[in-house]
Amino acid sequence: MSHAGKHYTGSTLEIDGHVAVVTLSNPPANTWTRDSLTALRDLVRDLDADRNVYALVVTGEGEKFFSAGADLKQFAEGDKALARETARRFGEAFEALSAFRGVSIAAINGYAMGGGLECALACDLRIVEEQAQLALPEAGVGLLPCAGGTQNLPCLVGEGWAKRMILLGERVDAATALRIGLVEDVAPKGEAKARAIAWARQAEKQSPTSVAACKKMVQATRMQTHATALVAEREAFVDLFDSADQKEGVQAFLEKRTPQWKNA
């Protein structure tokens, strides 16, 4: 399946080998619209169905913004039906991103505010550039983060810092984001995307079938108890013995060669 160079509303897609790079593109601040959220959902589902794609990098166009979140103009009329529809589309888009079977990495190249930060929170890993700032400022305009922010942020930073950011509207800089566990790395200005692609290449060395199973298990306790997830973890281990990659991985190790993954 080829998507290279295909344009989706609000973003562009490039595929290089097993790595897909999605660039959020809605100048000047890469804000989300209902159409761009639906397009992101469809794009991620397309990539998920492409067995040749092992990793996904999400970044923002330009130097200043990763994404400034929802375009607030659409909420000026106080239309509840529109609000419900927008919230649903945010949910569908970022839940599709969370469920992507490969490794997803947010290369945060500038401001990530509100739904912009929530997009990064839906990814597996985050690299932030040293000049960027991160925030969930929704309560300052009479709203709340409706795209996973109140749930995903405390998973990473704990309840205290999540409340500090959401209830006080506090912005965090790159150094603070790293210290509190909101991001996994800080890169110099302009270098987050390259570092994210390097991480994606690192992920390529792992068995993609194993990565998909591992990711599912790491995220399992969001939905089930620790005890249930431990049982599922053992079952998932046994299920990998049905995969070609398990046979190839062990064989390659024993033969002291690099494995050739099939994602099957």
Question: What is the pLDDT confidence band of residue 74, given thresholds at 50, 70 and 90?
Answer: confident
User: CA-to-CA distance for 43 and 22, rounded, in angstroms?
Assistant: 9
User: CA-to-CA distance for 54 and 194, rounded, in angstroms?
Assistant: 17
Looking at this protein, which amino acid is placed at residue 47?
L
Rg (CA), the chain: 19
From the list 74, 72, 116, 75, the residue with the least C-alpha distance to 97 is 116
Q: Is 243 helix (H, G, I), strand (E, B) or coil?
A: coil
Encoding tokens for residue 171? 């912005």
- DSSP notation for 191-228: -HHHHHHHHHHHHHTS-HHHHHHHHHHHTGGGTS-HHH
- Contact between 67 and 75 under an 8 Å Cβ cutoff? The reply is no
Averaged over 226-239, what is the pLDDT?
91
Question: In this model, does residue 54 exceed pLDDT 90?
Answer: yes
User: CA-to-CA distance for 168 and 122, rounded, in angstroms?
Assistant: 22
b/e per residue, 26-35, with b = 16+ CB within 10 A?
A: beebbbbbbe
pLDDT 10s digits, 198-230: 999 999 999 999 999 999 999 988 888 889 999
Active site positions, annotated: 118, 138
- Contact between 58 and 105 under an 8 Å Cβ cutoff? The reply is yes
Question: In this model, does residue 5 exceed pLDDT 70?
Answer: no
Encoding tokens for residue 75? 């909420």
Kindly report the average pLDDT of the chain as a whole number: 93
